[in-house]
Structure 1
Amino acid sequence: MTGYLDSDDRKYTKVYKEQTPDILKAFADFDNAVFAAEGREIPLKYRELIALGVALTTQCTYCIDGHSNNAVKAGATQAELAEAAWVAAALRAGASYAHGRLAFKLTEGAHQH
């Protein structure tokens, strides 16, 4: 896919800076607090692995890139990255299973016998 992880994509941040600088600052402050190296109960490596699992689930290429690299910088191993990927896969599969039940519920009574 053209455009994914294109180094030029960052230049479009200027729209946020120009149009909604207050929200951009609030988001950056929030993100910095969540991923602060110190002062959190969950060590940074694990927060980055959680973020990687979420990124894999939401399929955000930019987040996968950033959080997998940040996890490694925080000490994560290849095995830990692999397990994070499997956890994300299990959650996605589990969600399909659970929402399948919703499909049964929503179509209850619609079937001709």
Structure 2
Amino acid sequence: MTDTNTYINQLAQTRKDLEAFDPEAWNAFSALVQTTSKGGALPAKVKEIIMVALGVADHCQFCIAIHTKRAIEAGASRQEIMEGAMMAIAMGGGPSMAFMRYVVDACNEFGAE
């Protein structure tokens, strides 16, 4: 089983390092993420599920960990997260299927029901 909290902790440290290195670039990136992630025509939980699928398609354990956690916090169920993430397999084939391991582990670790 993957320790998805480790990915979240590493990502938090990377954020601090990048923010210290170039605060202007970090703030611009952060504003973009916050703006595009908030609810609108698509609820925030749907956007987070999309981000999980994009993390699977791009083979990014960090993205899978943080966006699975945020999807759960936004009210997404395990079924919704898994179905959304499985969409990446249609586009990414076997490698994306293998990265579903991280989605399963994140759902388990963060208590998706």
Q: TM-score, normalised by structure 1?
A: 0.67
Higher helix proportion (structure 1 or 2) = 2
Deviation of 1:45 after TM superposition, in Å, equals 1.0
5+ residue gaps, structure 1, are: 94-113
Partner of 2:86: 86
Largest Rg, 1 or 2: 1
Q: Residues 11 and 45 (structure 1 numbering): CA distance in 2 closer, same or farther, change over 3 Å?
A: closer
5+ residue gaps, structure 2, are: 94-113
The count of corresponding residues between Structure 1 and Structure 2 is 89
Deviation of 1:28 after TM superposition, in Å, equals 0.6
CA distance in 1, matches of 2:82, 2:11: 28
The one-letter code matched in structure 2 to 1:26 is A
Divergent runs of 4+, >6 A: none
Identity of aligned residues (%): 24
Partner of 1:53: 53
Superposed CA offset, 1:19-44 (max 9, x none): 321111100111111112x4x21111
- Tell me which of 2, 10, 13 is aligned to 1:11: 13
Deviation of 1:79 after TM superposition, in Å, equals 0.9
CA distance in 2, matches of 1:50, 1:43: 11
Tell me if the contact between 2:8 and 2:62 (Cα under 8 Å) persists in the aligned partners. Answer: no
Deviation of 1:9 after TM superposition, in Å, equals 5.6
